[in-house]
Amino acid sequence: MAKFVSLAAIGAVLIFASSAHAQDATSTETIGQKQQALEDQLSQLQGQIDQYQNQITQDQAKGSSLSGEISELNADIAKVNLQIQATELTIQNIDTQITGTQTQISVTQAAIAEKKTAVGSLLNTLYQTDQTSLVVGFLEDPELSDLWDDAKDISLFENDLGADVTQLNTLSGQLTDQSQQLAVSQADAASAAAYETAEEQQTAATKSQESELLTETKGDESTYQTLVVQTQATAAQIRNQIFQLLGGGSLTFEQAYQYAQVASQATGVDPAFILAILDRESALGENVGQCSYQSAMNPSEIPVFLQIVQQLGLNANDLMVSCANSDGAYGGAMGPAQFEPSTWELYASAVSAITNDKPPSPWSNADAFVATALYLKDGLTGCEADYTAVLDQERCTAAKYYAGSDWQNYLWTYGEAAVEQAQTFTKDIATITTS
């Protein structure tokens, strides 16, 4: 009487899904093994890098001397060469993630195609069934039991259709998430490659600096000491140094340090580290603070963004946020601290309790510094569980600040750059506070 999808056809769909999941699990296991091997190598390199950093710190503590600076420069060259190796391993790790995500996308796409076929078959069956009324069916086959069985079968297939449509929607959501993760990983790879180039340039510059130093001093300590006096930055020069914060205007270094001091006193986070993070956020690329929320922001963040803007009495169309990158990963970060709207909401009340701004604004320097410090404090607490050395904790914290759950891909790029910048700021702070 009615035509239905055969059990064999349904079984084929289930067998495909089972095979796809098994294939996906095998790929995931292989990728996981590769990632673990790369992370083990990174851990070994980290120990060697820390040794060179300790040597640099010891040389600095001995005071300024020609032999000490040459030793420090050599240690710095060796450390950066190891950082380049670490960055190369990070790139390999990201490439492995990209391959894994592409595999997942292929499996999901195949599952969606199969599910669409199954849904189409069920719809066709139900359509054909609808063309034959139960009355006509009864006249063709007056057995009441057969008619009742057919009616039950139709109901079951309608339930199956609903389940298939739900699964299809779920698979489509997974595909969207996987595509976004692929975009993020591709952006990570591009960023890591850019950092590797910068590290290579830093090595060449340090070698050149060492060569010039030896040429100018001809190995004479007194000549070196005269050179130190001539090239040492004065407190006034540092105070007048412009500290650019995109989204927050221009500050002198001394003004920025005062904001960082307030945030540090409230949270216990090193002010130099706070300054380094904000400096890195504003220095990262031309996409910061140049796009509208409509074009750049994740749609799920927009309602929170509009709520924040409304509370501040601002016009959303007048505010610029970070742009989406070329690989399709969303932008939408706000102000100097580059917070996503949902993240800002998590810290808004704590920021307000410190700055007394009600409500606090992501575009306010005072609020942004405090928000950064609060976020870093939480990050440091988490990183202390994984690392014992302060520099390792800060590198981890900086990477988490920038990349969230994707932080391990940024330990030796963004994380290391922030740590090195903090060390520079520590010297500048010492100069302006002791003069």
Distance CA 13, CA 349 (A): 51
pLDDT (tens digit, 9 = 90+) per residue, 220-258? 777 777 766 665 555 556 666 667 665 555 678 888 899
Q: How confident is the model at residue 19 (pLDDT cuts 50, 70, 90)?
A: very low
Of the candidates 263, 238, 242, 240, the residue with the CA atom closest to the CA atom of residue 364: 263
pLDDT at 80: 79
Give mean pLDDT, residues 127-154. Answer: 51
Concatenating the DSSP letter of every residue in 228-280 gives HHHHPPPHHHHHT-EEEETTTEEEEHHHHHHHHHHHHHHH---HHHHHHHHHH
Tokens standing for residue 389: 């050395």
Of the two residues 158 and 409, the one the predictor is more confident about is 409
Of the candidates 236, 252, 337, the residue with the CA atom closest to the CA atom of residue 288: 337
Q: Does residue 146 have a pLDDT over 90?
A: no
Of the two residues 104 and 272, the one the predictor is more confident about is 272
Report the mean per-residue pLDDT for the chain: 76
> Which listed CATH number (3.40.50, 1.10.530, 3.30.70, 1.10.3470) goes with 233-435?
1.10.530
Of the candidates 18, 9, 2, 1, the residue with the CA atom closest to the CA atom of residue 120: 9
* pTM of the entire predicted model: 0.61
The dihedral sign for the CA sequence 413, 419, 423, 424: positive
Give mean pLDDT, residues 273-283. Answer: 81
Tokens standing for residue 296: 């750049």
Domain ranges of the chain: 1-222, 233-435
